[in-house]
Amino acid sequence: MTGARARAVADAVLYEGYLLYPYRASSGKNQSRWQFGVLGPPGAADSGLGEDATISAQCLVEGGPEPTVTLTVRFLQLQHRGVQDSLGNPVAELIADAESWISWDEAVECEQVVGPLPLHGALVPLDIPGGSDIETIEGAGRLVRTREPVVAELELTADREGDLTRLTIAVRNTGAAATDKHDAIARSCIGAHVIAEVHGGAFVSLLEPPDDAALAAANCRQHRCFPVLAGPPGDSDVLLISPIILYDHPEIAEQSEGALFDSTEIDEILTLRVMTMTDEEKAQARATDPLAAQLIDRCDAMTPESMQRLHGVLRDPHLGEEQPRLVPEIPDGVDWWDPFADNAVAPDTDAVLVAGVRVAKGSHVRLHPSRRADAQDLFFDGKLARVTAVHEDVDGQAHVAVVIDDDPAADLHEWYGRYLYFAPDEVEPVSSPQK
């Protein structure tokens, strides 16, 4: 379970920026790679043809007398797809049976597992061979896929830091110097990252280290990546060394049904954008890359229920009708940004006690503004209002959302959610709207 969780996040890292909306090769932003963790051949960065050859991270291990570590190095190898007619001549596009293909740089996932290794020095070559494959398109031509070899290495060193062991994990491209930018990216490690698993010990969080490890954590140095605990909360034996800064225990939102190649994506917005693409634009995206074709097909097949899940957390609207609950207390130690804190509250069914009376959605109150948050509040003094929700802010303060009973636009305000907000001590419960 821990490994699957870490890999799900690692896959998002691997394909971050792989292909950007509108997912077509003709789009300017898809003319070059926008991915993180690109390790170019030596000298590529200095010549302006590519990126730095190395990522390296330092992390801390505590635990048993002889812990070991297993390191999984993952990256993408560029694969050029050329299109040729039936005579072997390069063409701009192949069309057959309502499908089309264009020239494009795809990618092949590369993964090498090293270990278990004792916490000593190790230097391991990572040689990914090149190659060429031909796929025949019946009655149209063929696709020729070519890959350049990628030569890299993994280095592990260890030293003591008090009672802890500090590991330095580096991945570097050691191929020949690049001749131009196309050669540089063709022989780069793209989206490079490392999943580290310790046996007989535990990793120490560098984001929230215990007091006795704070100095050692501060002394750790990172280059183009950062290590975070990758298992569920409470688990400390898996580390993700990522070129994208993450928090400890990251996870993919359960509502997300697939990658959109942007890990900071707002799935709903991008999915809706895909749905608004014309048939011609979708065909161009499908012709660009097989992963883009899968993305388009997934969005086209999305059900209303799936879209609802992307839109937000749905709760039973009838929950608590007979006895609405009070706004729950968030346990000590749970931060406001923790999903648990967000899911613990339900504005449509939560309530607050005002003079011993439960006030919740549907309650009627008389307003007595006293905090003067807005000069307009003075006009609402003594007005009758209907409660539409009870909210709690990140500081734990309750807020009662209302619409004014005699406001001609009350229905409109409620329709699009433009409420007035008052503190519980600014409202007086009344038994009916006429009181």
DSSP per residue, 115-179: EEEESS-EEEEEEE--EEEEEEETTTEEEEEEE--EEEEEEEEEEEETTEEEEEEEEEE-SPPPS
Q: Mean pLDDT throughout 259-278? A: 77
Task: Report whether 161 contacts 219 (CB < 8 A).
Answer: yes
Q: Which of 226, 160, 174, 173 is nearest to 196 (CA)?
A: 226
CA 214 to chain centre: 28
Q: Mean pLDDT throughout 189-217? A: 93
Read off the pLDDT of residues 296-306 as tens digits, 9 standing for 90 and up: 988 888 888 77
Task: Report whether 295 contacts 277 (CB < 8 A).
Answer: no
Burial class (CB in 10 A: 0-12, 13-18, 19+), 306: middle
Residue type, position 244, single letter: I
Domain boundaries, the chain: 2-304, 339-430
Q: Examine residue 317 and say whether the peptide bond preceding it is cis (omega within 30 degrees of 0).
A: no
Under the banding of pLDDT at 50, 70 and 90, the label for residue 320 is: very low
Higher pLDDT, 340 or 68: 68
Higher pLDDT, 185 or 49: 185
**23 pLDDT higher than 60:** yes
Q: In the prediction, which pLDDT does 337 show?
A: 56
- The CATH number assigned to the domain with range 339-430 reads 2.30.30.30
**317 pLDDT higher than 70:** no
Cα separation, 318 vs 315, in Å, equals 9
Q: Mean pLDDT throughout 297-322? A: 68
Q: Mean pLDDT throughout 255-270? A: 72
Q: Which of 152-161, 362-371, 372-381 has the lowest mean pLDDT?
A: 372-381
Higher pLDDT, 288 or 168: 168
Burial class (CB in 10 A: 0-12, 13-18, 19+), 147: buried
What are the residues whose beta carbons fall under 8 Å from the beta carbon of 322, sequence distance 6 or more? none
Q: Which of 183-187, 223-227, 318-322 has the lowest mean pLDDT?
A: 318-322
Read off the pLDDT of residues 218-257 as tens digits, 9 standing for 90 and up: 999 999 999 999 988 889 999 999 999 899 999 887 777 7
Higher pLDDT, 169 or 289: 169
